[in-house]
Structure 1
Amino acid sequence: MDDISLLQIALANLAILAGACLQGVAGYGIGTLSAPLLFLISPLFLPGPLILNAVILTVLMLIRNRAAMQVREVRYTIAGGLAGTVLAWLTLMVLSPKGFELIFGILILAGVALSIGGLKPALTPRNSVYAGAASTYMGTITAVGGPPIALIYQNERGPLVRANMSAFFLVASFLSLSALLLSGYLGIRELTLFALTFPGVLAGFWLSGLLVNRLPFEGLRPLILAIAAIAGVAALVRGLLSL
C-alpha cells in the first residue's frame, strides 16, 4: 500500500505478536498492548485491522480454553455489549478524522486509569452488564476493550478468565465490526491491512502456548500501561494540534 511502508508492516506484525501472546497468557492484552503500539506506527492499523485479528485470536483461545467457560456470566456482558455497540456507532457517525485521534487518546487514558485505579468490582450480573457496555464502546472505537472486563475478572482463576473473556471478546468483536462497517470505518484498506498483519496474531498465539505458565504478566503490567499512556497522550496532542 502506498501509505504504509514495509517497515511499518513488519513493526505492526511484531506489535500484534506481542499483544496476542499476552492475551493468550492473561486472557486480554491484544488491545491494551497492541493498539497503542499500532497507533504509534500508523493510525491506519486501527481499529478495524486489529479487531479483525482479535476475532481470529479469540476463536483460537476459545478452542484452547473451552472446558472452563461459564455461560451465565458471559451472557450478561454480551447484553451490555449490545448497548455499548449502539453508542459507539452513534459516536463514529459524527466523528471526524481529527476527532478520532482526540477520542482515541481520551479512551486509551481512561483504560489506563481503570487499570491502575484499584477498583475491585465483584463478578455480578449488574457489573457484568456495565463492564460489557464500557468494553464494547471502547473496543469499537480504539480496539482496546480489555480494561473494563479485566476489572470484574481480576479475582478469578486463569482458565475461567481466558475462556469467558474470549467468549465475550468474540461476540463483542463481531458487534464492533458491524458498527465500523455501518459507519464507514471498515473497507478494502482495512481488510488489506488485516491480511498483511495476520501472521503476527498466529505467531503470538503459538508463543503463548509455550509461555502460559511462565510469562510474569504482573511484572510486565507497568510497562504495558506506560506504553498505552504514551500513545494516549500522543493521540491527544496530535488531535489538538490538528484542530
Structure 2
Amino acid sequence: MGLAVLIGAFIQGTTGMGFALIVAPVIGILEPRLIPGCLLILMLPLNAYIAWRERGAIDFNGTKWITAGRVAGTFGGLWVLIAIPLAYLNALIGGTTILAALVSLLVPAFSPGKKAFVSTGFFTGITETATGIGGPPLALVYQHMPVATVRSSIALCFLIGEIISLTVLAFNGRIVMAHLTQALELIPVLAIGIFASHVIHQKINSRLLRSAVLVFAIVSGIFILLHG
C-alpha cells in the first residue's frame, strides 16, 4: 500500500490525476474495509498542496458548478455503500476503474459548459464517496485545458468534495479509527511522492504519463474485478 501511495502521489502531483486509480485497487485487494475512508483522508493533504502550488491557474467558475453537483452526488455514493454488501465492493471498484479509464481514452474534444460541470460533479460525488475514485470524470471535463489549470482545478474540486464526502460518511458511521490510523502510517510515503512531483512536474510529458496511468488503471481494474 505504501508503494502504491508513493507512486499515486507522484503521478497525481505531476498530471493532476491518478492517485485513486492506482491506490484504490491496491487497497481494495489488500484491505477492502479501508475503502473509501482511508483513501479520502490521504487525498486531503495531497490535493491541498497541488491546489496551493498552482493556485493562480485555478478555474473557479468550473469548480463552483462541479461542487454544486458534487453535493447531490455524495448522497448517491452513500446509498451505494449502504445498498451494496462489502463482498461486492471489489467488483464495483474494478468495474468503475475500467470504465472510467476507457472513457478517458476515447472521449472526443469538447468545451465544457455549466451542464457538463454540474453532471461531472454529480457523478464524481457518487463514485468518490462509494469507492474513493473520482478523478476520471474531472479529468474528462478539463482534459483540453492548460496543464496547470487541469492540475489545480481538479485538486481544488477534489479537496472540497473529499471534505463533503468525509463529513457525510462520518455522520453515518462509515469512518472509523482504522481509516485514520492507516492513513497516518502512510503520510510519510505520501510526502515523498508529493516532493518528487514538485521537483519534475514542469518538466515531464504529462500526456504520455496520463496515458500510462490509464493503461495501469485498466490492468488494475481487471485484476481487482477478477479478485472480487
Fold shared by both chains (TM-score > 0.5) = yes
Aligned residue number for residue 181 of structure 2? 192
User: By how many angstroms is 1:132 displaced?
Assistant: 1.0
Aligned residue number for residue 144 of structure 1? 133
For residues 178-198 of structure 1, what are the alpha-carbon distances to aligned partners after superposition, in whole Å with 9 as ceiling and x for unaligned? Answer: 233244331011111101111
Aligned residue number for residue 154 of structure 1? 143
For structure 2, the 5+ residue unaligned runs are none
Aligned residue number for residue 7 of structure 1? none
Paired-residue identity, %: 26
Please give the TM-score of this superposition, normalised by the length of structure 2. Answer: 0.91
**Equivalent residue runs for 1:230-241 within 5 Å:** 230-239=219-228
For residues 195-225 of structure 1, what are the alpha-carbon distances to aligned partners after superposition, in whole Å with 9 as ceiling and x for unaligned? Answer: 1111122111111111112223332334322
Residues of 2 paired with 1:41 and 1:217: CA distance?
29
Contact 1:79 1:129 in 2 (8 A): yes
**Equivalent residue runs for 1:1-243 within 5 Å:** 12-239=1-228
Contact 2:29 2:227 in 1 (8 A): no
User: By how many angstroms is 1:44 displaced?
Assistant: 4.1
Amino acid at match of 1:55: L
Contact 2:8 2:19 in 1 (8 A): yes
Contact 1:121 1:151 in 2 (8 A): no
Q: What SS class does the counterpart of residue 120 from structure 1 fall into?
A: coil
> Is the deviation greater in 137-146 or in 32-41?
32-41
Aligned residues: CA RMSD: 1.8
Contact 1:74 1:167 in 2 (8 A): yes
Residues of 2 paired with 1:184 and 1:105: CA distance?
24
Please give the TM-score of this superposition, normalised by the length of structure 1. Answer: 0.86
Amino acid at match of 1:120: A
Which 4+ stretches in 1 moved above 4 angstroms? none
User: By how many angstroms is 1:94 displaced?
Assistant: 1.7
For residues 122-168 of structure 1, what are the alpha-carbon distances to aligned partners after superposition, in whole Å with 9 as ceiling and x for unaligned? Answer: 22111001111112211122221111111111111122222211111
